[in-house]
Structure 1
Amino acid sequence: MSIPVIQFNQHPSPGQAIDDCLHDLGFMQISDFGIDNDLLKEVYDHSKAFFRADSSTKLSCQYRSAKENFGYQGLLEENLDPSAPADLKETFTMRNILKGEIADERWPSVEFKQVMQRFYANALEAGHILQRAIAKHLNLDEEFFSSKHNGESISLRLLYYPARSPGSVIEHQLGAGAHTDYGFLTLLFQDNVGGLQVLNQNDEWQDVVPQGNTVVVNSGDLLERWSNGHYRSTLHRVAPRINGKDRLSIAMFFDPDSPTWVEPLQSFISDEYPCRYTATTAGEHIQEKIQATHKKRFLE
């Protein structure tokens, strides 16, 4: 079974299509909802150059804490599945970067920073378009979700999965361990190499085959909580790169502003579907999740 593709601006009922996908699998692929593909190419070019740079360049941008959630992390510095060996990936995470609170010297270059800020703004608006479509479909105020995603906890993340020899990968080690995403939804841009897998309804790992000019979108833990389980926060992972090809991807994590109170909406609660989740703040949930996957030196 393939992951459904929605042509957003050409679909007669995009809200219903999104509802169907996120309820059934928690994953979909979307095109035509406002992503600037020329700008996306610039992001890939800068990402590729950064991850190919020497270690001193990377370490000058080093990640410091889960609270800040900004900077470079190297191989084996994250366990998305804490029960498994550390992940075979490098990352560069950029939280809330339109605010400009990170000093220029912690960026690879001013040009890199400007490109990432421009793409962050573009992806932020595109994600808000999807949030408005979901809210409208649920008969909520159109800004119900988007108004709670102003950027404070939204992160753009570059991911690099270097090719490995089969003998260098230990048992149960992955590019990214099996995990669910923490927030509302994620936009994932992947190159043509592949490797992303989702756990489908039959508890089988299903490949998400890359398709040109589409974005993989999945629902996260807090959307599952808001919808009382109607929308699925689905386990997914990335296979290790043992076929001789590096993999690059770009993720935009739409996590609500920290004070946001998240509890199941009354429209999803009934005698047949009693409330399944306790209330929490977005910040409490997300920090707990991030800290569970990071090495101790990043937990301050």
Structure 2
Amino acid sequence: MEVPLIDCDHRARTDPEVARDIDRALRDVGFMAVHNLGVTPERIREVFDTARRFFQSPEEEKLRCAYAEASENFGYQSLGQESLDPSSPADLKETFTMRNLLSSKVAVERWPDNDFRESVSTFFDDALAAAQRLQRLLALALKVSPEFFVERHNGENISLRLLYYPPVMASEIDPEQMGAGAHTDYGMLTLLFQDAVGGLQVQSETGSWHDVPPRPDAIVINSGDLLERWSNGRYRSTCHRVLPREQGVERYSIALFVDPDSDTRVEVLPSCIPEGAAALYPPVTAGEHVQAKIEATHGA
């Protein structure tokens, strides 16, 4: 099971060509790695530096920015505070989550500092622009208006997340414990920026797990639950996980979760229903789906 590599360079390739490649990747695997989507290497290096400074700071400083509740979905969580697979032991990762970053009303004192906030906000702008380009390409593939998906993602449920997987002793963890437990993502798309340390695995339709080789020069992108519903199962919301860091090397990654606004009614697109067939999924409100998933992983 290989994750396709797609070049989105608009100078060399037309949008219909790129849209066809994206369509094929999400149909076959549900994952792809993308070059030339518009986020510069310099911007990515800067936000990774910001993440490293934060996660390497003293625990008492990090806890000042602690995650309060799933309904807010903002702040720092230490090891063992989230279970992406609620049936398994808690995840061996630290996170800093920022939902609706540019419109957030979170108090100033709950941010690490102003430099942190400026760095992640600038990165968020660039990553969101990249996500919107993907949304327009998917609109082309699915035969809806160019702004169909962009208009339904105004930021209310779009979250930026910094992730840190510290080294752990194999003797100190449960055999079933993961860096990030097996799960599917909740919304439309996820953009994942990785360092050079591996650990991400995707699950095939037969249930076997396959490594996704780290490519710091590419963005790993996967379709989520709501895109699977919009596309009537055409695009897979593929289960994935992150292995614990037992080799003594820490791992960092940064994810942008592109989830629709809460009142968005997600129902199967007409272009995805074969003639004479019925939709495989009933309509669902995006907010209800996303919030239920977040609460399940936090036990609240």
Do the structures match in fold with TM over 0.5? yes
CA RMSD of aligned residues (A): 1.2
Q: Does 1:284 align with 2:288?
A: yes
| Alignment partners' CA distance in 1, 2:136 and 2:125 | 17
Q: Using the TM superposition, give the Cα deviation of residue 274 of structure 1 relative to its aligned residue in structure 2, in angstroms.
A: 2.8
Among 215, 222, 231, the alignment partner of 2:219 is 215
Matching residue of 1:36: 40
In the alignment, what sits opposite 2:157? 153
Alignment match of 2:19 (pick from 15, 36, 42)? 15
Instruction: Please give the residue correspondences for 1:68-217 in structure 2 after superposition, counting only pairs within 5 Å.
Output: 68-217=72-221
Paired with 1:212 and 1:72, the residues of 2 have a C-alpha distance of: 24
User: 1:256 is matched by which residue type in structure 2?
Assistant: P
**Distance (whole Å) between structure 2 residues aligned to residue 211 and residue 272 of structure 1:** 43
Distance 1:187 1:272 in 2: 35
Who is 1:249 aligned against? 253
Could you list the runs of 5+ residues in structure 2 that have no partner in the other structure?
Answer: none
Give per-residue Cα distances to partners, 1:251-279, cap 9 Å, x unaligned: 00000011000011122123675311111
Query: Identity percentage over the alignment?
Result: 52
SS of 2:43's equivalent in the other structure is helix
1:292 partner SS: helix
Structure 1 spans left out of the alignment, 5+ residues: none
User: Shift in Å at residue 40 of structure 1?
Assistant: 1.2
Partner amino acid, structure 2, of 1:175: G
* Cα 1:273–1:250 shift into 2, 3 Å: farther
**TM-score where L is the length of structure 2:** 0.96
Counterpart Cα distance in 2 of 1:248 and 1:273: 44
Find the residue that maps to 2:6 and give its secondary structure: strand
Matches within 5 A, 1:233-272: 233-270=237-274
Q: Secondary structure at the match of 1:240?
A: coil
Q: Which residue of 2 aligns with 1:6?
A: 6
Taking the aligned partners of 2:219 and 2:121, their CA distance within structure 1 comes to: 19
Q: What is the CA distance between 1:237 and its match in structure 2?
A: 0.1
Under a length normalisation based on structure 1, what TM-score does the superposition of the two structures give? 0.96
